């Protein structure tokens, strides 16, 4: 559950089985932050995965799943691992604080707490998280094009594969290659080639319209579009849109034997993720179909059953 306010300095999830404690913390934090709350460890995990808060204030002693178990579960999940957790608890012995830190917490506040101290520690942890997020973004973004890099793609593919396996949803990939790009660089120069890739990425990114879609640079002039919860038919619609967007960009390519404009070729693959299947097989299938598209005329997409 949540309270709505106009604050934008981070979303905080407060977890406590006593509503009066939640109300006190909400009153203390609502002026600067959006506040969510949960009355149990189980509900906290559900909300954390749904809302991905920037910080969690967690009580240690609760019926059912206690704070230590909830914290350990948060840290065991790739989706919530990086959310900082501050324990706010009536426990005050050194061994209690040690146990909290060993479970993955970043700080420990004993009840009864001082509201000013809570605000200060919340601000500190949110600042640290923003800095860590910015650094992580740099390491997961391709410097030239601004889209995700291969490391980011690999991480996201693993997470989405597991998520789709749990929900029984399909997952599709589109492997994309810029046609005759070496000839483009040879004719126009590498600076123009860089600008070309930037323009193409802006066009292709418009086709990754859902929050879960991910466009990544796979290497050189090769890109890959991850489409979770999408079957082959839907992926083919996206691929046609990609062709149209690239064509509308209208970048001249006088050295291309395929077209006077820059074009792309694509291979599409989709599967139902499940135990025993390998993400690498999906990539290899898309890559083989990209190879087919390049050797049957380029400026097209191929998938099994369609050329």
Q: What is the CATH number of the domain that holds 257?
A: 3.30.70.270
Residues 146-160, mean pLDDT to the nearest whole number = 92
pLDDT of residue 111: 83
Q: Is the same domain home to 31 and 126? A: yes
What is the Rg, in whole angstroms, of the alpha carbon atoms belonging to the chain?
Answer: 24
Task: Give pLDDT tens digits for 263-279.
Answer: 999 999 999 998 778 89
User: Is 145 contained in some domain?
Assistant: no
Question: Taking a C-beta distance cutoff of 8 angstroms, is the pair 45, 73 a contact?
Answer: yes
3-state secondary structure (DSSP) of residue 285: helix
Q: Is the same domain home to 88 and 168? A: no
User: Is 307 contained in some domain?
Assistant: no
Q: Is residue 8 very low, low, confident or very high in pLDDT (cuts 50, 70, 90)?
A: low
Domain count for the chain, please give it.
2
**Final residue in a domain of this structure, among 78, 112, 139:** 139
Q: Is residue 144 very low, low, confident or very high in pLDDT (cuts 50, 70, 90)?
A: very high
Domain that holds residue 21: 2-139
Least confident of 6-15, 157-166, 190-199: 6-15
Residues 100-111, mean pLDDT to the nearest whole number = 87
Q: Pick the residue with more confidence: 244 or 4?
A: 244
Question: Taking a C-beta distance cutoff of 8 angstroms, is the pair 164, 273 a contact?
Answer: yes
Q: Is the same domain home to 56 and 108? A: yes
Buried b (16+ CB within 10 A) or exposed e, 79-100: ebeebbbbbbbebeeeebbebb
Q: Is residue 1 very low, low, confident or very high in pLDDT (cuts 50, 70, 90)?
A: low
Most distant CA atoms of the chain, gap in Å = 75
pLDDT of residue 100: 85
**Final residue in a domain of this structure, among 72, 107, 139:** 139
Which residues have a catalytic role annotated? 221
Residues 6-25, mean pLDDT to the nearest whole number = 84
Q: Is residue 2 very low, low, confident or very high in pLDDT (cuts 50, 70, 90)?
A: very low
Q: Is the same domain home to 113 and 180? A: no
Residues 28-50, mean pLDDT to the nearest whole number = 91
User: Is 244 contained in some domain?
Assistant: yes
User: Is 144 contained in some domain?
Assistant: no
pLDDT of residue 97: 83
Whether residue 112 is preceded by a cis peptide bond, meaning omega within 30 degrees of 0, is yes
């Amino acid at each position: 559950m949540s309270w709505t306010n106009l604050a934008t300095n981070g979303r905080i999830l407060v977890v406590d089985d006593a509503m009066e404690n939640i109300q006190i913390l909400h009153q203390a934090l609502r002026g600067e932050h959006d506040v969510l709350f949960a009355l149990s460890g189980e509900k906290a995990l559900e909300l954390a995965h749904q809302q991905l808060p920037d910080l969690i204030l967690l009580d240690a002693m609760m019926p059912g799943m206690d704070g230590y178990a909830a914290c350990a579960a948060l840290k065991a999940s790739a989706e919530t691992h990086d959310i900082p957790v501050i324990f706010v608890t009536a426990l005050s012995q050194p061994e209690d604080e040690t146990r909290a830190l060993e479970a993955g917490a970043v700080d420990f506040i004993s009840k009864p707490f001082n509201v000013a101290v809570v605000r200060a520690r919340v601000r500190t942890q949110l600042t640290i998280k923003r800095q860590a997020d910015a650094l992580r973004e740099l390491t997961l973004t391709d410097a030239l094009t601004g889209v995700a890099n291969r490391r980011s793609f690999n991480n996201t593919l693993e997470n989405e594969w597991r998520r789709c396996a749990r929900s029984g949803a399909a997952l599709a990939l589109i492997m994309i290659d810029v046609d005759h790009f070496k000839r483009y660089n040879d004719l126009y120069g590498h600076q123009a080639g860089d600008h070309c890739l930037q323009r193409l990425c802006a066009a292709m990114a418009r086709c990754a319209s859902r929050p879960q879609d991910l466009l990544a640079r796979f290497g050189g002039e090769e890109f890959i579009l991850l489409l979770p919860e999408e079957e082959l038919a839907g992926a083919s619609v996206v691929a046609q849109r990609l062709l149209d967007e690239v064509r509308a960009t209208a970048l001249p390519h006088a050295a291309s034997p395929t077209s006077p404009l820059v074009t792309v070729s694509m291979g599409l693959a989709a599967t139902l993720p499940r135990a025993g299947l390998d993400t690498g097989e999906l990539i290899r299938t898309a890559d083989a179909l990209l190879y087919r598209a390049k050797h049957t005329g380029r400026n097209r997409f191929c998938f099994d059953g369609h050329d």
